[in-house]
A and B are shown apart, each in its own frame.
Chain A
Amino acid sequence: MDEGRRVVLRSAGATGALAAALAAGLLRPERVLAANWDKSAFRQKSTAEALTSIGAQDAETSKNVLLDVPEIAENGAVVPVEITSHVPGTTSISVVIDKNPFPLTSRFTFMEGALPYVKLNVKMGQSSNIRAIAEANGKHYVAMKGVKVTIGGCGG
């Protein structure tokens, strides 16, 4: 990985110019990607509030939302989560971990032929239920599973 360091050193000059451009307000990364982050939803501390903030407080339990998680996670820092929605017209999938300090973990919006599927690794502070919430035609559908964590993934 020494090569990486060389690259960093060599690009230091360029980085300086970039920093200057940033300072001058010429470049705004968030504007370039037109990205939004739903701060109010991600900052909710209780599961109920997190669910309400994404409109999923009345989510209907559905067998068409497949949530694949391990029953026991030895390491809470890396818990694999795989979600597939078979609900027709699914436009988004959200992941909520009930007992994490901030339950809403991620939210994916699908368009232009993307299949309502996502696989990712999440952190869990302690044993908890995980909810996969699919949104279709303005309604929410949920699948929930419990994961036992032997070593927590938050704090240290």
Chain B
Amino acid sequence: MARPMKIRARLVGDYTDIRVLMAHPMETGQRKVKGKVVPAHFIENVTIKVNGKTVIDGQTSQAVSRNPVFAFRVKGGAKGDKVEIGWVDNEGETNSIESAVA
């Protein structure tokens, strides 16, 4: 749990609004500190599941901002549906979080 995440899933009219925040440095591999390149370190895959089924499969690059925030929408849904979001970065680090639709 070294890199915390936050999630919020809400029913808005006829769709479920899913917002997620992932604490991650998202290093580009272009930045230098005291003349030394900071190695690239970024999230490559983001997966969103609703009630165990994958609904969105995201691939991301180093050009996504630090501490990424995403918003997604899923048609329909009901309060209490289980939303699970996970990520994997280029070093194989991973984290996930789940929440019920409110």
> A residues within 8 Å of B by Cβ?
4, 7-8, 11, 22, 28-30, 32-33, 35-38, 42, 77-79, 82, 97, 100-102, 104-115, 117-124, 153-156
* A-B interface pairs (CB < 8 A), number: 135
Q: Is there contact, CB below 8 Å, between B69 and A108?
A: no
Q: How many residues of B contact A (CB 8 A)?
A: 44
Q: Is there contact, CB below 8 Å, between A121 and B65?
A: yes
Cα-based distance from A30 to B47 in the complex (angstroms): 12
Q: List 24 A-B contacts (CB under 8 A).
A: A28-B92, A30-B88, A35-B88, A36-B45, A77-B65, A77-B66, A79-B65, A105-B61, A106-B60, A106-B63, A109-B57, A110-B56, A115-B75, A118-B70, A120-B69, A121-B65, A121-B68, A122-B64, A123-B28, A123-B63, A154-B28, A154-B31, A155-B32, A156-B31
Question: Nearest chain-B residue to A96 (Cβ)?
Answer: B63
Given A114-B73, A115-B72: 17 more A-B contacts, CB < 8 Å = A35-B45, A35-B47, A35-B57, A37-B44, A104-B61, A105-B61, A106-B63, A113-B55, A113-B75, A114-B48, A115-B73, A118-B71, A119-B70, A122-B64, A123-B28, A124-B63, A154-B28
Q: Is there contact, CB below 8 Å, between A114 and B1?
A: no
Residues of B within 8 A of A121 (CB): 64-65, 68-69
